[in-house]
A and B are shown apart, each in its own frame.
Chain A
């Protein structure tokens, strides 16, 4: 194809603009990695910079000398994310399937019943009191799982997706004598795989990145989810110091709090970033499935 001059100029400008935006998006990631590898005394003199003059792994050594605590909160987050995503995906897809079945007469009423909670809710305080005073979920892992178990928007997306499954398939399975639950497990779920993968990714990401419920409900430090653990590290120097290896003798050296903070940020974020290239396509697909409604 022959491009006109105007087109060439336009493509060059567009390419440059997109490149700049993309660089802006990864720039802070680079800054944090660079900062975590900068020797503490260089940070004190020169501050964080794009390109440290020398490299030191001291902060990482400190982080990995006694990694029990961060591994602990990793386990909490992995467990909560795994259990939460699995249960959430299961009950949401099951309900979404039922709510679009044409022969299920209550579908409109129940959809409205669920959807109303998007329009109106009691606010944070009554919900908080329910969680703590009535269900007694303080310092209970359920307090990290339950709050994000049902997302009405994902339910609606799931319901819309299930509509694309031909009703004749379900009818014929019924004639063959299959029960409703069996049909859902064996016929509907396999056909809904693309939606399950994408929505599952979104649910998992919400669980993974949650810190608010940790802050609201967790007082026991050993039960902190990863993001809340990181938040405490960043916001409290005492907490930061207590997280570092107690076994290391720093002598009269200052505690390398600045590089250590960033090293912990890298340790807490690194694995998910490494996973990212493999899951990105599910997110893109998910956005397109949900289109505007997501």
Chain B
């Protein structure tokens, strides 16, 4: 019990320091560790009057319900596939933009374009959903307006579940391009300028320099970001999916992720036991993936491992 001895030592020697760390420690105990005991709820038939611990046990019934209903496969598939798509598309877009910005001149041009790209980072997904409505609404949306004016038939996009795969992937990339490109831009700025100069002297073209200098130098950053993305592959971006899709069940087949599913089961159908079971299932998967990916990062690049 070395940690206990250490705590005792600090209690004696550094009581003020311990006190200074206490607010965060207490917070974590109350809001993170205490709810962990609520995991038992996943194995119970929740009865509001009897509370979490008084409710009767029901074994794996909550889990069985989730899996047999067929929803498990759908939401898990969606969560994982969207995250994979996000990782691939976002990284490609962000790296491309970062390389382009680093290559073009003009301080003001850089400032203004970067400022514009950062704008989506600042707004909430609620505002983005207003944007989407403005463009894709069946009756008034600019997209259908354009289709009509070209003599085409308007499309009810809010009932086309396949289209939303692309809309969501696009919007996610749209929202993160400013942020992500800054991360890569910082990495590019860290590359020694002399390497480029000597490459130019040796007659390397622009694309060759990108291919043989920039991209290899970015590789560590990409690897870390991708591995971290994989660690979170079972965690859906709740804000994004809920604001884009909400309770439009026409789209659930292609857009429902674990997080939105749990949220709806909790808030609208009050299925405490089942949503707790799904939440626990997700937490265990996340734990497994994060631990595994962190183990890999520690092998590849110990500097960047999470712990």
Chain A residues near B (Cβ < 8 Å): 6-7, 10-11, 14-15, 17-19, 21-26, 28-29, 31-32, 35, 43-44, 46-50, 91-92, 94-95, 97-99, 101, 103-106, 109-115, 117-130, 133, 146-147, 149-150, 155, 179-181, 184, 205, 208-212, 215-216, 227-228, 230-231, 234-235, 258, 261-262, 265, 268-269, 272-273, 276-277, 280, 283-284, 287-288, 291-293
CB A45 to nearest CB in B, in angstroms, measures: 10
Q: Are A292 and B290 in contact (CB under 8 A)?
A: no
Q: Are A109 and B6 in contact (CB under 8 A)?
A: yes
Q: Are B120 and A104 in contact (CB under 8 A)?
A: no
Among the stretches B63-71, B76-84, B134-142, B158-166, the one at the interface with A is B134-142
Q: Mark B256-269, 1 if CB is under 8 A from A, else 0.
A: 00010011001100
B283 at the interface (CB under 8 A from A): yes
By a CB distance below 8 angstroms, the chain A residues around B304 are 292-293
CA distance A10 to B209 in the complex (A): 12
Among candidates A15, A112, A211, A276, residue contacting B126 with C-beta atoms closer than 8 Å? A211
CA distance A110 to B129 in the complex (A): 40
By a CB distance below 8 angstroms, the chain B residues around A261 are 130, 133
CB B307 to nearest CB in A, in angstroms, measures: 6
Among candidates B6, B100, B131, residue contacting A14 with C-beta atoms closer than 8 Å? B100
Chain B residues near A (Cβ < 8 Å): 3, 6-7, 9-10, 13-14, 16-18, 20-21, 23-25, 27-28, 31-39, 41, 51-52, 93, 96-97, 99-101, 103-105, 109, 112-131, 133-135, 137, 139-142, 144-145, 148, 174, 177-179, 182-183, 186, 205-207, 221, 224-225, 228, 238-239, 242-243, 246, 259, 262-263, 266-267, 272, 275-276, 278-280, 282-283, 286-287, 290-291, 304, 306-307
Chain A's closest residue to B7 (CB) is A106
> Is chain B's interface secondary structure helix, strand, loop, or mixed overall?
helix
Q: Are A29 and B119 in contact (CB under 8 A)?
A: yes
CB A268 to nearest CB in B, in angstroms, measures: 7
CA distance A258 to B140 in the complex (A): 8
CB A42 to nearest CB in B, in angstroms, measures: 10
Chain A's closest residue to B118 (CB) is A280
CA distance A130 to B33 in the complex (A): 11
Q: Are B24 and A155 in contact (CB under 8 A)?
A: yes
Among candidates B174, B224, B279, residue contacting A123 with C-beta atoms closer than 8 Å? B279
Q: Which of B20, B224, B238 has the most CB of A within 10 A?
A: B20
CB B100 to nearest CB in A, in angstroms, measures: 4
By a CB distance below 8 angstroms, the chain B residues around A212 are 238-239, 242
Q: Which of A28, A43, A130, A209 has the most CB of B within 10 A?
A: A28
